[in-house]
A and B are shown apart, each in its own frame.
Chain A
Amino acid sequence: MDYTWDFSFLRQFGELWARGVYVTLLLSVAAIGAGTALGLFLVFGLSRQGTIAGALLRIPCRLYTDVFRSIPALVLMGTIYLCAPILIGVTPSPFQTAWIALALNLAPFAAEVVRAGIDSVPTVQYESARLIGFRGWRLAYYIIGPQAFRRILPPLVGQYVTTLKLSSLAATIGVVEIWNVTGQVVTATSRPVESRLVGAALYCLILLPSLWFVTRLEKRYEVVGLGEFAER
């Protein structure tokens, strides 16, 4: 292999990369926020804990969850970008399009994760708490919430990581995030290998620390331990 490495372009495009990282983070955080909020709303319709769900709510929530889980994020993004101006006469910016698409894509997955976490708390936990007098928000806050949260956190963060990675799709509709910047640098420098390696490394730089953080969180909760209850 006689490839000659040359990373000297980094100095020249430093500011552009920084902007890419900023936009990737901004887009991901915005999509995660909106997607989670929408997802939590869906949970009300999906959970088998009937106290919060009515049948009227259940059908549309179920439908949305299943339909949007089966549309690829790239297809969703492209469809919104190209069809919104024609169908509803609104032309969202590339960033808004990506934000909406990623949020709509995350919501059903987040909802399923949260629902599964809540529903996996054994019935006896609800019943023992109710008999002792915990009702409503007290039941949710003191008894069910903490147990569900521990089960939800790891898979939910997994979904967030996926959303951040999917944000690279926004490059295709012209959002100036990491992968779009990478493309620009490739064109400008004719250093495709180095540019793309830097782009990939930037994603690692963002995600590896968050993954380690989650592993640590999981470890911490392991000490508290759902122990044998986890299998019930």
Chain B
Amino acid sequence: MALSVEGLTKRWPDGSLALQDISFTASPGQIVALIGPSGAGKTTLLRVIAGLEPYHEGKLDGLAGAVGMVFQQPSLWPHLTLLENVALPMQVMGGVQRVEARWLAAASLSCWGLASRINAYPSALSGGEQQRGAIVRTLMLKPEVLCLDEITSALDPEITSEILLQILELKETETTVLLSTHQLAFARKSADLLLFMDGGRIFEQGSPASVLDDPKEHRTRQFVTKARQLYMGFAEGSSGASFSVSPSAFQILS
């Protein structure tokens, strides 16, 4: 069932708008990328869709099945091993036998390159391993919609690209993936729909190519230009040319 968000509005307790008239639709298997500066409302939107926050106006459709969410912060349960983290929900909620749950968990973890780490506690795992573990744990629910909230923001580029490539493979599972990210290159290459958000509203949405290469709105153009400057700046810097990017360009990395 397609995910459809219509006129979604949310206010903070002090009355200020957290989300303002958010509308978009996504079909099963699509990847929706949310981009925009910090504080734009990306996280809030994902939390509302996941059911962690209430909203005040508008309609959310297509959330009949499970909604999964992976957070920016590490969220594996620290008192359980990686294998137990993935197996426990199946045992407790799914009524799956312990042996079977563990076997399924181990198989899924292996698919994500974690076979050798299944008996490690989260504190012994790297940031990338923790995030992959959290994704696997969420995927065991077979979510119809999967919200990924800047899951790679604390990771090095190598791990980031590895994880993002694995997310691409989810396209085959009919899971609708909503991800907020600062990895514009990834968003451009793999997203089916790109939303540019700022100040709690969607300024522009469409195919990644149309939004990123030919932004209609001034605010989008500003953001994309800064992002481009940043990457071009680095390229020039590495080849020895002058490095001239305004300090505000770095804000998008935060």
Number of A-B contacts (CB under 8 A): 68
Residue of A whose beta carbon sits closest to that of B76:
A128
A224 with B79: in contact, given A142-B88, A232-B73 (CB under 8 Å)?
yes
Question: Which residues of B are found within 8 Å of A133, using beta-carbon distances?
Answer: 89, 93, 141
Q: Which of B73, B121, B122, B138 contacts A132 (CB 8 A)?
A: B138
Residue of A whose beta carbon sits closest to that of B69:
A131
Q: Which of A37-45, A78-86, A119-127 forms contacts with chain B?
A: A119-127
Q: How far, in Å, is A143 (CB) from chain B's closest CB?
A: 6
Establish whether residues A147 and B52, one from each chain, have CB atoms under 8 Å apart when the complex forms: no
Establish whether residues B73 and A124, one from each chain, have CB atoms under 8 Å apart when the complex forms: yes
Within 96-143 of A, Cβ neighbours of B (below 8 Å) are at 122, 124-125, 127-134, 138, 142-143
Could you mark each residue 68-112 of chain B with 1 if its beta carbon is under 8 Å from any beta carbon of chain A, else 0? Answer: 110101110111000000001100110000000000000000000
Task: Classify chain A's interface size.
Answer: 20 to 34
A138 with B92: in contact, given A127-B71, A132-B141 (CB under 8 Å)?
yes
Complex alpha-carbon distance, A131 and B52, angstroms: 8
Main secondary structure of the interface of A (DSSP, over half): helix
Complex alpha-carbon distance, A127 and B52, angstroms: 7
Question: Which residues of A are found within 8 Å of B68, using beta-carbon distances?
Answer: 131-132
Within 46-75 of B, Cβ neighbours of A (below 8 Å) are at 50-52, 67-69, 71, 73-75
Question: Which residues of B are found within 8 Å of A228, using beta-carbon distances?
Answer: 74, 123
Is A52 among interface residues, defined by CB-CB distance under 8 A? no
Question: Which residues of B are found within 8 Å of A122, using beta-carbon distances?
Answer: 73
A132 with B52: in contact, given A224-B79, A227-B124 (CB under 8 Å)?
no
Q: What is B's interface to A at a CB cutoff of 8 Å?
A: 50-52, 67-69, 71, 73-75, 77-79, 88-89, 92-93, 121-124, 134, 137-138, 141
Q: What is A's interface to B at a CB cutoff of 8 Å?
A: 122, 124-125, 127-134, 138, 142-143, 146-147, 150, 224-229, 232
